[in-house]
A and B are shown apart, each in its own frame.
Chain A
Amino acid sequence: MSSSPQEQNREQKEEQKEEQKEDKEEPKESWKDCIYNPRTGEFMGRTASSWGETVSMFVCLSLSDRETNTLDDNVPRYQDRVANPGLVIRPHAAEISFNRSDPTNYNQYIQNLHNLLQRYNDSIQERNDLCMVGEYTEQDNEPIKKVCQFKRSMLRQCSGLRDSSFGFAEGKPCIIIKMNRVIGLKPQGDPYINCTGDSPLRMQYYPSEARLDKMFFPYYGNKAHADYVQPLVAVQLLLSREDLNVEQTVECKLEGTNLRNDDDRDKFMGRVVFRVKVSE
């Protein structure tokens, strides 16, 4: 096999580019050398160690660059997908249906609520700080982030303190609405929860006006802000006698803020829909 002129050209170019000193006097030089040169141990113009370096550099750079150097412990790199937080209700069910006269029927719901409110016990919350109402608790530079107090007792009738059945026994169940935690989120305006039923329905919000106070924002993540509790809003459905045995659909929305609550696809972004049916 003889080497074609192009191949020789390429070989020479390769050599110039790599600035590898090849012994050009050596007569048995052939095109194969540009792939593998047995004399210098070069493969495609580089020695094995040179190749190793290049490859590992390349791999390391691209791997370590993103994984080790740029991933923050406290904030994920991208948050664009959670810019608008979702709303969820407790008890955790899309359809809350129970017989008010049968406690076993709704026990799981109130247990669920008790579990949620465990962290909001006044005894725990009293350890936390009191923050300025209506203002963000910004503490970006503080090494230890303070946690704003949200006492369970603020939920009054729906706190489960006085009425441990959260109104379920009366047929006037409390539903607790919470907004998803998002690191660094600072809702503008004056966010509050507004619920509407498909039929006119009397509802009582706790805390009054159903406000999610700005002082609970921003959130600094589960490492820096381990004891953080998110603000809650409880809504008690004051069902009348006629409403019993009828399925009530209630939609609660986050309003008074720049956060979206009307996404076509995401039915839980800034809003939540649930159904309640209380029977006797």
Chain B
Amino acid sequence: MIYKIQATSQGHFTRVQHYLLYSARQKPHGEFNKARWLYFGCSQLLVHTVRMPDSTYGRSDSYRVATTQDKADRSPKKKKGGTKDMDDLKKEVPITEHKMSIEEVCRKFNTDIVQGLTNAKAAEYLIRDGPNALTPPPTTPEWVKFCRQLFGGFSILLWTGAILCFLAYAIQAATEDEPAGDNLYLGIVLTAVVVITGCFSYFQEAKSSKIMESFKNMVPQQALVIREGEKVTINAEEVVGGDLIEVKGGDRIPADIRVVSAHGCKVDNSSLTGESEPQSRSPDCTHDNPLETRNVAFFSTNCVEGTARGIVICTGDRTVMGRIATLTSGLETGKTPIAKEIEHFIHIITGVAVFLGVTFFILAIILGYSWLEAVIFLIGIIVANVPEGLLATVTVCLTLTAKRMAKKNCLVKNLEAVETLGSTSTICSDKTGTLTQNRMTVAHMWFDNQIHEADTTEDQSGASFDKSSVTWLSLARVAGLCNRAQFKAGQDSLPILKRDVAGDASESALLKCIELSCGSVRAMRDRNKKVAEIPFNSTNKYQLSVHETEDPNDNRYLLVMKGAPERILDRCTTILVQGKEQPMDEELKEAFQNAYMELGGLGERVLGFCHVLLPEDQYPKGFAFDTEDVNFQTDNLCFVGLMSMIDPPRAAVPDAVIMVTGDHPITAKAIAKGVGIISEGNETVEDIAARLNIPVSQVNPRDAKACVVHGTDLKDLSQDQMDDILRNHTEIVFARTSPQQKLIIVEGCQRLGAIVAVTGDGVNDSPALKKADIGVAMGISGSDVSKQAADMILLDDNFASIVTGVEEGRLIFDNLKKSIAYTLTSNIPEITPFLFFIIVNIPLPLGTITILCIDLGTDMVPAISLAYETAESDIMKRQPRNPARDKLVNERLISIAYGQIGMIQALGGFFAYFVILAENGFLPSRLVGIRLNWDDRSTNDLEDSYGQQWTYEQRKIVEFTCHTAFFVSIVVVQWADVIICKTRRNSVFQQGMRNKILIFGLFEETALAAFLSYCPGMDVALRMYPLKPSWWFCAFPYSFLIFVYDEIRKLLLRRNPGGWVERETYY
């Protein structure tokens, strides 16, 4: 922990790190003092929107905090804007049945409370309303998916190239007797490349969707309905409105039902509302809001325990769940950032190609070529600019990353989404684990009116308090007993801190803490048999259990309770100090408040503990404790102490946060302040009002950097106001968001240009998941709808994978840049021969076939190997990329690749070309202007510089030998290119040559080049000829020059940060 903080503090300080370091300085002792990550209470839903700093959008590097009003008022809000249909879906749930009496409901559906529907009525309704199933989102037919792969993005460029090639060939075929086949072959190869890569990515995605398929629950749901007085089990799809149905613990509720009778029925609404605590159901209407009231149970939620009987009020798409699912599938998603980048790249490439093409078209006309020839040249130049191999390279690079992520249980549904996480500037998450290590640990305790540091060392060497204190023992007993977490079996050999625990995070933390300091908790629980228990729920905010005492002679029962400190305190009349029960007086209450504030202020999640020995006369042995209808005392308890826990933050947590939480505004604000979402010194409007002692309305909202947006406010905000909040407040927290509100937040962020990632598992998250640039769903706990909507699925529900995803995404973005820089560079030595061929009429130095050999042969492995390159610096310390400014391919990359390295490469190639021709008798002076005779088949006595005469075929062999040599030279200069492309800033001496794939690539391309040149039969197959060994060395000096040139450039770049070299050449 200490190390981690120091490590992260090396680079630039993020605000969180600043904060952490600050607290470390303030409290230099104890492990967990170094970082404070606090959680108050137990929020049911905590949605953090993590936003990374981005000044261009008017947000500075800070956090935004907002909270909602009280939990009780939690209705879905209307959303403004959008199309009418969507608007309707975004509106409040139109269920009114919960407010009707049961009779009214029966009347409405023509059903009977005892007999249920008649079979005839049920059949009639089934025909009228359709089956009770969600309409699956319109699935794209396989051929459409395939075509999308074939014609999407980069492929368009290649298709255009191929069509141009065929066009050029057609022109040639129409005008020449013996048209050169080059354009035809090139067209065919381009087509083949697109088709093959298309198939590849299609199958890659098909594989992912197959895994998706496996998520689908194939077992048809059954429902127990009462029709004509008889209980029948039918397929859940046949359930109709008005059906009387029965559900019991473990069932999935088959439709939205109005409960008519219930026995201890509890439902888990988490997939719908995000509330993780089971909610009890009863026939009474307890709330106006159908989502809050107890007498409605919803489609596809689970009945956890008990039984209930109810009348179906909505089926299929009309259910609450169905409406959300329909809303989700109706949302349109934008392009992925990488798709946008590739589009931008295509624009640049097309621009360069057309510019070159038109320039040389005009030149050709001026030089006296015929129109038709000039058009052929124009097409040739444009096509030559198409990097044939790049599509395959990009696809393979993305696939490799996707595979790497899949190994870490991160399934990527859409290949392009691999990079998106890396560009993400805003993360909305409903899991705290995203930001923290998800290893909740006890940090502090307060008892005997003193704050003690928890000792979390394995050998208990760091004890800072007297463990024999009676209060401590009592506290430990309460924490151990009033705790449902337990170690998973078979881990006795492991250190306690490393053992796996079944149970929630804070209970696990308590369990480990007690196990460490007091020995086996299991033994303690065995000595104190549990007789009754009320699990934690959000209304009580406490958890209690009743145990027998350790002393067999003591027949009293021990009641232990833990929960939100203020709630616990309310139930206490005494407090345990130095082992003695004392009445809770104002002084002690204040001490409690101070301790609570202090621990809370440290950003820790604080729990209060209390107990009482129930008097034997009222609760004799064998007393039947009823936990449903509590028949024993839960107040007048004795307060024991507080324990606080932290979840250490991840080193890689992004800088700025918008938090959206289900907590009470004050709690949320405290958390936000604790984690630095609201930074020190920044105040909300309310803070300013409190400080200046003026009404909130008189405070200028612009003065407040921080902002707390109440959930209810969100529905009243116009789009402009929403933007205004996001733009003008640097630190905001939203709380308790409905699916619609989440959508509004995501849309708001996107409007301001942020790249938004959303994580979630519930159905309620799915609209936001779909709308986000990248939606991340949970593989295990996630609902099908959320998985359908997401782009990425965490198969093991481990949020640490998101951080991996961010890292991999950033890495692949960097490496794609390198790959593209590498691949594009060889474009210049490929184009210039053709240009010189046209302009100075020399024999063609490099042919189409050899160009293809480079693009689709030798360049492939090195280009792909750059995807394995490790990061140059700590990419997680970097700020997220600004999509408006940090492009995948920018002018500087083009300038380096085309203008600098490419030119040197072309020189190398031409050098080899001229050497070979000169050594065979054609000195450069003879070559200029020789083209027409050279390419004339009927001239079979062409004279060279020495007076020798050559037949057409003889000189063509020399020409093709030149092509081969030019090709080999490009391979040689590409050695240097791949080495310089390894790094964008560092020297290769700093980076090292540890990339084995790259080294393999170097050997592979060389071997391939040698094979193509020397393999017998190549002269016939590809018209490549064996080179004399000395010709291999022609390009060596140029290769060396490239290396030195770029090392010097990078040296200057490092030595003058922000200097001219960096501004002009850092891509």
Contacts and interface: CB of A to CB of B under 8 A. Distances in A.
Interface stretch (A168-176, A202-210, A243-251, A263-271): A263-271
A78 B953 contact: no
A18 to B, nearest CB: 14
B947 A222 contact: yes
Given A34-B989, A78-B920, A88-B940, A182 B1051 contact: no
Interface in A15-44: 31, 34-36, 43-44
Interface residues of B, number: 40
10 contacts: A36-B1055, A55-B1044, A59-B1037, A74-B946, A77-B920, A86-B949, A182-B949, A221-B947, A221-B948, A267-B953
Interface in A67-93: 67, 71, 74-79, 81-82, 85-88, 92-93
Nearest to A6: B992
A77 B921 CA distance: 7
A268 B1037 contact: no
A180 interface: yes
Nearest to A265: B953
Nearest to B1055: A36
A86 to B, nearest CB: 3
A59 to B, nearest CB: 5
Of all A-B residue pairs in the complex, the 6 with the closest CB atoms, nearest first, are A222-B947, A86-B951, A180-B949, A76-B921, A266-B953, A77-B919
Given A35-B1051, A178-B941, A86 B950 contact: yes
Interface string A127-143: 00000000000000000
Contact of A43 (B941, B948, B953, B1051): B1051
Contacts of B373: none
B3 to A, nearest CB: 15
A181 B921 contact: no
A49 interface: no
Contacts of B1028: 78
A179 B1034 CA distance: 34
Contacts of B954: 81-82, 86, 266, 269
Interface of A: 10, 31, 34-36, 43-44, 51, 55, 58-59, 62-63, 66-67, 71, 74-79, 81-82, 85-88, 92-94, 178, 180-183, 219, 221-223, 225, 228, 263, 265-269, 272
Given A66-B915, A221-B948, 19 more contacts: A35-B987, A35-B990, A35-B1051, A36-B1055, A51-B1044, A62-B1037, A78-B919, A79-B920, A81-B920, A81-B955, A81-B961, A82-B948, A82-B950, A86-B940, A86-B941, A180-B941, A180-B950, A182-B949, A228-B947
Given A36-B1051, A78-B919, A222 B957 contact: no
Nearest to B1050: A35
Contacts of B961: 81
A71 B957 CA distance: 21
Contacts of B1033: 62
Given A180-B949, A221-B946, A266-B954, A66 B1030 contact: yes
Contacts of B957: 81
A181 B1055 CA distance: 61
B140 interface: no
B1017 to A, nearest CB: 13
Contact of A76 (B948, B1044, B1055): B948
A21 to B, nearest CB: 21
B946 A180 contact: no
A20 to B, nearest CB: 16
A187 to B, nearest CB: 15
Contacts of A36: 1051, 1055
Contacts of B948: 76, 79, 82, 180-183, 219, 221
Contacts of A34: 989
B1041 interface: yes
A78 B962 CA distance: 14
B1051 A268 contact: no
Contact of A62 (B938, B940, B1036): B1036
B944 interface: yes
Contacts of B987: 35
A78 B965 CA distance: 15
Contact of A219 (B938, B941, B947, B1037): B947
Contacts of B946: 74-76, 183, 221-223
B958 interface: yes
A269 B947 contact: no
Contacts of A219: 947-948
A182 B954 CA distance: 12
A272 B940 CA distance: 10
A52 to B, nearest CB: 11
Contact of A183 (B947, B990, B1051): B947
Contacts of A31: 990
Interface in B1026-1056: 1028, 1030, 1033-1034, 1036-1037, 1040-1041, 1044, 1047-1048, 1051, 1055
